[in-house]
Structure 1
Amino acid sequence: MKVRVGIDVGGTFTDAVAIDNDSYELVGKVKVPTTHSAHEGVALGIVQSLEKLLSESNINESDVVFLAHGTTQATNAFLEGDVSKVGIFALGTGLEGKKAKADSKIDDIELAKGRYLQSSHQFLDTSKFNEETANETIQNLLNDGSEVIVGSESYSVDNPTREKKIMDAAKQFDMPATATHEVSKLYGLKTRTKTAVLNASILPKMIQTVNMTEDSVKKAGIKSQLMIMRCDGGVMNVDEVRSRPILTMLSGPAAGVAGALMYEKVSNGIFLEVGGTSTDISVIKNGKVMIEYAQIGGHKTYINSLDVRTVGIAGGSMIKMDDQQVSEVGPRSAHIADLAYAVYTDPDQLKNAKVVYVEPKPGDSKSYVVLENEQGERFALTLACVANYLGYVDEGHYAYGNKASATLAVEALAKETGKDPKQLALEISDKAAEKNLTVIDKMIKDYDLDLDGLQMLGGGGGAAAVVPYLAEKKGVKSAINKNAEVISPIGVALAMVREVVERSMSNPSEDDILKIRKEAEEAVVRAGAELSTVEVQVEVDATQNIVRAIGTGATDLRTKDLGKTLTLDEIKEKVIETYQTKPDEVVEEDKTDNLHVIKTSKEEKKLWGLMKKRKDIVHVVDNEGVIKLKKNGASIKSMSVEKIKNSFMSILEDVVGYGDGGVQVPDVFILQGKRIIDCSGVIDLNQIMALVNVELQGIDPETKLVVIIGKRSA
C-alpha cells in the first residue's frame, strides 16, 4: 500500500496522518509533543511523529510516496517578535532614485508588545553599482548588526539582474539574502520591500529548520521529496521555502480548510477550526477558500494568504463570572491554566465539588470558574463541558465526554449562583457565541455571502463544542468534518502544489497574458508539480491593474480526484438545498463534461402580493455537487471554440450597456470541461478576447463551450 503522509506542527502537539494513496482513506494517525526546545527544534518532533506513525501503522519507508508538513514557526516568529535584523540594500538613480530611497527605507515594525523587527538601510546610486561597491555596502550593513540582506530596486520585477547580484554578493559574506522580485512581481516598491524585509527576518531560522528537517527525513529512509504547506492552501518543495519562508505563515489554518473541502463538498460556508484555546474562521465561496493579501503587524504585504480570523473561543475556554453573572467566556482556556476539563473527568472525582474562582495566569482577573473536590483537586468548567451537558456533542465527536461529569459541573455553578442549570448553560453558550458571531457576520458582509445554503463546517478537536450551537443561533446548517481532530494534517497530505504569479498591468495584451500564464506554469513545476498535471487559471483585476495567474498541479503519483460523481437528480437536490424557500422550477439548461448549468425560477411577490416578479438564477455545479458559480438573471449560450474566436466580440458588443460611467461590460464566464474561465474582473472587450484566446489555445475548434453572461456584480 502506497501512502501520503501529512504532518501538522502545532504549538503544543505535532499530529501526523497516513492516507491511502488510492482510496484517500485515513490509515493511521499519531500525536507527539511539539519539540520547540530541542536542539533540532520542531524538526525532531516531525521525525518522531513520522517514525511513530510508520511503526504503529506498519508502513514501510519505501511506501511513502508523498510527505509534507505544515508549521506554525513563521507565524510564531512574527507573533513573538523572534526575528533577525534585516539589512536593506537599495538601488536607484535620478529623480526616481530619490523616491526609491524613501520607499525602500522601512521603519521598525512592531510585531509583539515591545518586540520590533528592525532594519538597517543603505542606498547606492545605480551608476556606482559594481562588485566593489556592493561588497562595501554589505559590509556597512553587517557592521550595523544586520544578519540577513534584502536587495531592493524599483523595477526589478521587469529586470532583476542587479537584485540578483546583491544576493550573490551577500553569499560571499555567508549572509542569507532575498530580494523584492523573489516575493512579488507587483510594482509598489514600498509594499514589495516591506514584504521582502518580513520574509528576510525569518530566513536564517527557517533555513536552519528546513535543513534539519530535510536531513532528518532522509536519515529516516524516506525517499519522497519533502514538501511544505503554504498559507494559501497549496504545498511547495523545500528549495522554495529556503527563499520564501513567509509563504509558510498561517499554513496550519490553510491546511485545515483544505482538508475540510476534501471531505465535505461545501459550496458556500464558514469553516471553523476549533482547538482548545482559539478558533480559526475562514470563508468558502463558490467551492473555494477566500484568499487575501496577508497583514503582519498591521502592515499589508504582497503575500496571498488564506483570510483567517482568530477568535479566543474554543472547546477549552473557561467561564468568567462577575457578580453572579456570566461576564465572559475565554480567552483563557483549561490548557493555559494547566487544568483538566471537568467533562473528561470521572464523575466520582466531582462529587461534592465546590466552585472556586482563580486567575489562570498571574495578573489575570480572579473570576474564572474552577471546581475543587474534597481532595483539593481542581477541574475547569469549559465550553466543552457546557456543550456536552446541552447535548450538542454526539458520541462520535472528538469532543464527546462524560455527560454525568458535565452535569455535575454545570449544576455546581448553578447552585453557587442560584440559577437554573439549563438556563445558565444557555447563557454561557450565548456569551461564547457573541464573539464568534461578530467575526462571522463581518465575513458574511465582506464576501457578500448568501444565507440561503450557507453551512457552518467544523474541524479541529473542539469543533462539536462550538459549531452546532453557533449554527443554530445563526439559523444555518452545520456539519462536523470527518476526522475533524486531524483535519489539518489530512489537508497537508492531500494538498496540491500551488503557485501564484501577479503582474502590474494596466492594459494587458494577449502576449502579456500568455507570458504570465507560462510563468505560473514554470513556477508550479519548480515548486514540485508534474508538468502533465498543471492547470493555470488567469484572472484580470481591472480595479487594481493586476493580472494574476494561479497555477496548481499534482505531485507525480496523485492523479485521482477525491469525491463521488452525482446523478443529475442528486445535483438538482444539492441546488434546492441552498434555498430556505424552494424554487418553483429547477432545470438543467446546458452542460459540459464536468459542469452542469442549472437554472432555478421562483415567483416573488412584493407590495403585499400586488406585484409579482419571476426571479431566475443560474448555477454552475460540478459533478460532485459543488456550486461553483451563482448568477442572477444571466443568459446562457452554447457555442464551439471556433465560433467564440470568430464571433464572440460581436456578441459582447451587443450586450454591453452604457451608463454615467461610460461603457458597462457584463460579467462573462466560459465553461470548458471542468474549467470556468472567469472574465468578470475585465472591463475592456479587447482584454476579454485576449484572455479567452489564451485560455482556449490548443483546444479542438469543435469543442463545445457554454457561455454565461450576466449583469456585472457591484
Structure 2
Amino acid sequence: MKKYRVGIDVGGTFTDAVAVDNETYQLVGQVKVPTTHDDIHGVSAGIVKALDKLMDEYQIAAEQITFIAHGTTQATNALLEGDVSKVGVVTMGKGIEGWKSKIDTNMGKIEIAEGKFLNTSNHYINSTKNIQTEMRNVCQKIKNEGLDSVVISEAFSVDNPENEESCALIARKQGLQATASHDVSKLYGLKVRTRTAVVNASILPRMMETADMTESSIKRANIKSPLMIMRCDGGVMTIDEVRTRPILTILSGPAAGVAGALMYEKLTDGIFLEVGGTSTDISCVKDGNVVLKYSSIGGHKTYLNSLDVRTVGIGGGSMVRIDSHHKITDVGPRSAHIAALDYEVFANAEDIQNPVLKAISPLPGDPTYAYIECSNGKEYSLTLTGAANICGYIPEEDYAHGNLEAAIKAWEPLAKAMNLSVKETAEMVLDLSAKRNGEVVSQMIKDYGLLHEEITMVGGGGGASSVVPHLANKLGVNFKIAENASVISPIGVALALVRDMVERTVTDPTEQDIMSIRKEAIQMAINSGATEDSIEVKIEIDSQQNKLRAIATGATELRSKTLGGRKKTEQELKEIVADNLKQNVNQINICGKNDYFTVLSSTRQKKHLLFFRKEYTPVRVVDYEGVIRLQKVNSTVVTTPLSKWKSTVDHLIAENIVYGDGGEEIPNIYIIDDARIIDLSGMRDASQILSLCEAELKASSGKSDLIVICTLTTENQRG
C-alpha cells in the first residue's frame, strides 16, 4: 500500500495542500481552497477542507497518510492585528535581587505592531515565603482581572527551574494558560526572556483553540499519524509542543519554503527567494542549514530563533511606477492585487483593443502606477510578470507563463511614452526590480560570508521566474527555479524534519557542558516527535556572546533523507563538480567515496602577495544523485577505518592549527559516516571535537571507512 506525506500551508488568501510520495518524495497531488478566516472554526476549517479535497481528488485513504503537517500564519497575524490576550506576569525573587527582577519583568504595554499593544499586569511573589500558597492567591487575583494567560519568571530559572515549574502547574490547575520563562529560552537575560514568554502567553489561548479544533478534525478523519506544525526555523513539532510554545510558529510561512528548498532541492549554500504576487521573501542557506537570527517583535528583542527572512516589496504582480509625464520611475511596492486590476499577461490578446496608458494611485497617498484602458472598457495592470514574459525569462511550462501577444500589446503605450521598444521598456523595469532585490541579496551574502562563486539562487513561489532568472544574470550567480515552485511551501511542510534547539549562556564551555546540551537537545527533539535513531545534532559555540547552542533534527519515522533518484556515474559526478568549480573535468579528482557520497577535489592557484601564487584545494561532497551537499574552499581529505578515527582526527587538527594573536584557531572537521555528514565545525579546542565525535560515532556500523574532511581556518581558506 502506497504511503503519502501531506503538507498544508495556510496563507492569507488561500490554503494549499499537497500529497508527496513517502518513498520517492515526488509530488502526487495538489489542491487549493480559500483560507477560512471568518469561519466559526477559524483557519482550521480551511485546513480540513483542503485535506478532504486532497484525499477525495487523489483517492488517498486515511490509512495511507504516514505524515501530516501544516504551516500557519495565525500567530504572525495575531501579533500584526493585535489579536492577543492580556497577560499576567508573576515574578519571583527575594531581597535586592528580587527588587531588580521586579523592575526587569515589568513589561507594561508592549507595542507589537503600529498602534497595536500587548497589555500586561504585574504580580510579585517573595520566594522566602510559601511559594505554592502565594501562587494560588496570585492566580485568583489574575482570574479576577479577567485574564486567562500567565507568565512565571524568576532570575536564573534556566539553572534551577523548580520554582517556575511548580507555579506553572498551580496556574494550570486553576484553569490558566501558563508559560514558564525557562520553557521559551534557556538563556540568561531575565528581561528579554520574560518578554519572549509574554509574547508566547499572549497567543496561547487562540492557538490552543485552533490546535484543538484541527487535531480533533484530523482524528475524526481516522488519520492515525500525529498532526505536526511548522516552526519558524524550518522544522516541525507536535501539536502538544504548540500548546506549550506557540511562539515558535511565528514566521513559519517563509520557513516552509526554505524547508522545501533544503529537502526537495538540496540547497547547500545559497539564497532562496520565495516570490509571491506582491513581495519576495529572501533567506539564506549555509552548509545545508537555514540561517537564523533572534526575532524582534514590534521593535523589541526576543529570544525567538527564527528564519532570517528579508522581505522586498517586489513580486510577480508588482506594477510599474510612473511620473506625471508617464516616464518610468520605479517598480512596486503596489501590485495588481492591491489596485484590483487584472494582469495584462493573462488576458486574451483580442481583449486588448486600442490600449491607452493611464495612471492610478491604488491607495490614498500612493504615487502613480501605470495601467491601460482599452476601447472595450477593459483595464489591465502592467506587471513584472508581463515584463519577464516579454523578455523571454519564463518557459512555457512555468506557473507564471502567460500570453506574450497580449503582454506586448499592453506594453506598447508605455514603450511609446518612453521612446523605447517594448522589450527595452520591459528590460528597464526588470533592471529596477533586480536593483532592489539585488541589494538585499548582496547584503545577505556579505553578512553570512558566502562565496559569490559558490552560491546557487533558488526561486520558489508562483512568481519565481518573474524575478529570479533576471536577478541571477545581473548578479552573475547560478540559479534554478524549484521543481513545482508554486507549491514549494506546502511541499516543504510535507518534507520537513522535526527540529528543536537549546541555547545556554556558557562562558567557556567544557566537554561536560557540550555533552549535556547535546543530550538535552536530543530529548527535546524526541518530545517534538522525532525518533531517537534518526536524530542528528549540530553544536555551535558563539564565543562573542558566550552562548552554547545545540540544534537537533530528526524524522518522525526512520527514512532516508535522499530522494530516490538514479545513481550518477563517477564521470557524471566529476562533470557536475567541474561545472561548479568552472574547471575542466580532467582536473577533478575523487578523494573518497562510500555508497552514499563521493568526495571530489581539485587543485587551484590564487595570487598571493605581489609575485607569488598560492595553491588551495576546493572540496565538494556530492550525494549519489549528484547533489552537492557540502562545499569547502580549502580542505584536506582522509579516509580511515572506524577503529582509527581518533588518531586520524588528532593528526589533522595538529597539522592544521593556526596560532595567532587570539590564541589557537582550530580547523573545522566534518566526518562522513555512511549516509551522515557529521558537522563538528565551530569548536574551540580539540577536546571538544573528540568528545562530540566519540558520541556521534557510537552508533556507527563501521561497515565502510569514514571520510574525514578538515577545512583550514578562514584566512587560509580563501587562499
Instruction: Note closer, same or farther for the CA distance 1:324–1:354 as it changes in structure 2 (3 Å cut).
Output: closer
* Secondary structure, aligned partner of 2:16: strand
Q: TM-score, normalised by structure 2?
A: 0.93
Query: CA-to-partner distance for each residue in 1:551-606, whole Å, 9 max, x for gaps?
Result: 22222374563153433323322222223465873222234553433221123457
Alignment match, 1:45: 46
Counterpart Cα distance in 1 of 2:287 and 2:637: 19
Alignment match, 1:17: 18
Alignment match, 2:351: 349
Asked whether 1:334 is paired with 2:366, we answer no
Instruction: Note closer, same or farther for the CA distance 1:585–1:557 as it changes in structure 2 (3 Å cut).
Output: closer
Alignment match, 1:569: 571
| Fraction of identical pairs, as percent | 50
Counterpart Cα distance in 1 of 2:586 and 2:626: 20
Asked whether 1:223 is paired with 2:227, we answer no
Alignment match, 2:55: 54
Q: Which amino acid aligns with 1:571?
A: L
Query: CA-to-partner distance for each residue in 1:316-354, whole Å, 9 max, x for gaps?
Result: 111110133222211111112222111111112211121
Q: Which amino acid aligns with 2:232?
A: C
Alignment match, 2:521: 520
* Secondary structure, aligned partner of 2:38: coil
Instruction: Note closer, same or farther for the CA distance 1:674–1:2 as it changes in structure 2 (3 Å cut).
Output: closer
Q: Is the 8 A contact 1:89 1:138 kept in 2?
A: no
Unaligned runs of 5+ in 1: none
Alignment match, 1:312: 313
Instruction: Note closer, same or farther for the CA distance 1:192–1:324 as it changes in structure 2 (3 Å cut).
Output: same
Q: Is the 8 A contact 1:270 1:281 kept in 2?
A: yes
Q: Is the 8 A contact 2:281 2:310 kept in 1?
A: yes
* Secondary structure, aligned partner of 2:581: coil
How big is the alpha-carbon RMSD for the aligned residues of Structure 1 and Structure 2?
A: 2.5
Query: What does 1:251-400 align with in structure 2 at a 5 Å threshold?
Result: 251-322=252-323, 323-365=325-367, 367-400=368-401
Q: Which amino acid aligns with 1:53?
A: L
Counterpart Cα distance in 2 of 1:104 and 1:312: 36
Instruction: Note closer, same or farther for the CA distance 1:441–1:89 as it changes in structure 2 (3 Å cut).
Output: same
Q: Which amino acid aligns with 1:668?
A: I
* Secondary structure, aligned partner of 2:212: helix
The counterpart of 1:587, out of the listed 566, 586, 589, is 589
- How far residue 488 of structure 1 moved from its aligned partner, in angstroms, is 0.8
Instruction: Note closer, same or farther for the CA distance 1:381–1:442 as it changes in structure 2 (3 Å cut).
Output: same
Q: Is the 8 A contact 2:342 2:381 kept in 1?
A: yes
Query: CA-to-partner distance for each residue in 1:184-230, whole Å, 9 max, x for gaps?
Result: 22222222212111111111111111111112222333332111111
* Secondary structure, aligned partner of 2:395: coil
Q: Is the 8 A contact 1:89 1:149 kept in 2?
A: yes
Asked whether 1:415 is paired with 2:416, we answer yes
Alignment match, 2:179: 178
- How far residue 178 of structure 1 moved from its aligned partner, in angstroms, is 0.8
Q: Which amino acid aligns with 1:275?
A: G
Query: CA-to-partner distance for each residue in 1:480-512, whole Å, 9 max, x for gaps?
Result: 111111111111111122222223333444443
- How far residue 37 of structure 1 moved from its aligned partner, in angstroms, is 1.1
Alignment match, 2:449: 448
Counterpart Cα distance in 1 of 2:598 and 2:104: 49
Q: Is the 8 A contact 2:652 2:710 kept in 1?
A: no
* Secondary structure, aligned partner of 2:496: coil
Counterpart Cα distance in 1 of 2:103 and 2:676: 44
Instruction: Note closer, same or farther for the CA distance 1:601–1:52 as it changes in structure 2 (3 Å cut).
Output: same
Counterpart Cα distance in 2 of 1:129 and 1:573: 72
Q: Is the 8 A contact 2:13 2:34 kept in 1?
A: yes
Counterpart Cα distance in 2 of 1:647 and 1:490: 41
Counterpart Cα distance in 2 of 1:315 and 1:47: 29
Alignment match, 2:98: 97
Instruction: Note closer, same or farther for the CA distance 1:376–1:124 as it changes in structure 2 (3 Å cut).
Output: same
Q: Which amino acid aligns with 2:360?
A: V
Query: What does 1:632-647 align with in structure 2 at a 5 Å threshold?
Result: 632-645=633-646
Counterpart Cα distance in 2 of 1:685 and 1:22: 40
Instruction: Note closer, same or farther for the CA distance 1:213–1:106 as it changes in structure 2 (3 Å cut).
Output: same
Query: What does 1:644-683 align with in structure 2 at a 5 Å threshold?
Result: 644-645=645-646, 649=650, 652-653=653-654, 655-683=656-684
The farther-off stretch of 699-708 and 71-80 is 699-708
The farther-off stretch of 479-488 and 672-681 is 672-681
* Secondary structure, aligned partner of 1:187: coil
Q: Is the 8 A contact 1:282 1:308 kept in 2?
A: yes
Q: Is the 8 A contact 1:541 1:682 kept in 2?
A: no
Alignment match, 1:213: 214
Query: CA-to-partner distance for each residue in 1:146-180, whole Å, 9 max, x for gaps?
Result: 44111111222232221122222222442211111
* Secondary structure, aligned partner of 1:452: helix
Alignment match, 1:164: 165
Q: Which amino acid aligns with 2:523?
A: E
Alignment match, 1:553: 554
Query: CA-to-partner distance for each residue in 1:456-497, whole Å, 9 max, x for gaps?
Result: 211111111111111111112222111111111111111122
Counterpart Cα distance in 1 of 2:515 and 2:592: 30
Counterpart Cα distance in 2 of 1:597 and 1:32: 45
- How far residue 134 of structure 1 moved from its aligned partner, in angstroms, is 0.8
Q: Which amino acid aligns with 1:334?
A: A
Q: Is the 8 A contact 1:384 1:399 kept in 2?
A: yes
Query: What does 1:83-94 align with in structure 2 at a 5 Å threshold?
Result: 83-94=84-95
Counterpart Cα distance in 1 of 2:380 and 2:668: 57
- How far residue 36 of structure 1 moved from its aligned partner, in angstroms, is 0.7
Q: Which amino acid aligns with 2:99?
A: K
Counterpart Cα distance in 1 of 2:708 and 2:482: 35
Counterpart Cα distance in 1 of 2:394 and 2:233: 31
